[in-house]
Amino acid sequence: MRKKTVKDIDLKGKKVLVRCDFNVPMDEKQNITDNRRIVAAMPTIKYLIDQNCKVILCSHLGRPKGEVKKEFSLKPVAKELSELLQKQVIMANDVIGEDAKNKVKNLKNGEVMLLENLRFHREETDNDPGFAKELASFGEIFVNDAFGTAHRAHASTEGVTHYLPAVSGFLIEKELKFLGDALANPERPFMAILGGRKVSDKIGVIESLIEKVDVLMIGGAMAYTFFKAMGYEVGNSICELDKLDLARELMEKAKEKNVKFMLPVDTRIGKEFDANTESKVVKFTEIPDGWEGFDIGDETIKLYSEEVKKAKTLIWNGPVGLFEFEQFAIGTNSIAKALADVDAVKIIGGGDSAAAVEKAGLAEKFTHISTGGGASLEFLEGKKLPGIEALLDKE
């Protein structure tokens, strides 16, 4: 997928509307607790400043559902941007209102401003053409650098491209390069580790990867649906009883495609959903009634850690256990450490596995950590992402 980037178009001195993903976590005092997404946008913003552009940034934050809500204001983001760029970022008090219009009008070359939360307008998620046109009127060129929202056809991701020439920023370029190359032309053995709660959340990804990988390792709560499909009891573990036939079909499909389909051989179980619950490790065939599986066991950690040493390309999406609770984070942390030592192209497909790797302080050991949870998943499924499709193609 070859899309034009900011380097393929003349931007010098132009007004540039940039869609970023500043949907960052904040505490109750509106302090940003993780600024990774803002940091990830820096290369594109700095490049535009160097090109002497008038830079108009826009983003959503949270789910205000079309209402102006103070706790979802982007003001803390403007403050963080100012500190990172070491220059004042002008904050608009609205999105397409008088304040935004005046500030865009008075913006000078090399200056940066940020519009208020796009989702204060319901028209944003509705992809309303009128709203998109108003937004587009602020720029001469549109740059999309928000991979995390590229799977949504919103006014600020797809709508504006009907009114402005649209190219990608460096972040989207990077995402397309690493995720795209891994899927299209991987160095083998190509392996994937998939975790998460439900098989139903990952059906498309599993089906897509079975066509491409040499080894597929399953972890997380969705493993228990596969155990049940094999005829074993899973106690109180999360299990999708309506997906047992599907689980059997997926295992059969992997067999047909000669894909090594690995499931946990043991599991760390707990008495109840509680950080301090009583726990123990049992074989996957011996989960007792009244107990719930929360993590992969020690033998599985060993097995998976040995397997990944052979990889030349590896994608990991989803933690392999309930990593929010310390005693059930052992599997996820162990896999992160095992992967950190592997000499391969290693891609983290966003979401909780990215958070786990960051938390373990191992981020720099990975080739690429995707910024888009849902977008990464849909990309891995082979779906077309509206926010990417709308960008100009390279000749």
Is 318 annotated as catalytic?
no
> What are the distances in angstroms from CA 262 to CA 68, 308, 325, 330?
48, 12, 24, 19
Of the candidates 4, 14, 197, 198, the residue annotated as catalytic is: 198
Is 374 annotated as catalytic?
yes
Of the candidates 148, 195, 331, 351, the residue annotated as catalytic is: 351
Residue closest to 55 by CA, chosen among 97, 102, 93, 18: 18
Is 148 annotated as catalytic?
no
Which residues on adjacent β-strands are paired with residue 311?
A: none
Is 37 annotated as catalytic?
yes
Please give the Cα distance from 350 to 174 (Å, whole number). Answer: 13
Torsion of CA 192, 194, 199, 203, to 10 degrees: -40
Beginning with the edge strand found earlier in the chain, give each strand of the sheet holding 54-58 in spatial order: 89-91, 112-114, 54-58, 15-19, 141-144, 166-168
Angle at 221 between CA 229 and CA 354, to 5 degrees: 140
- β-bridge pairing 345-348 and 89-91: unpaired
Of the candidates 37, 202, 212, 243, the residue annotated as catalytic is: 37
Cβ atoms < 10 Å from Cβ of 260: 14
Which residues are known catalytic residues? 37, 198, 351, 374
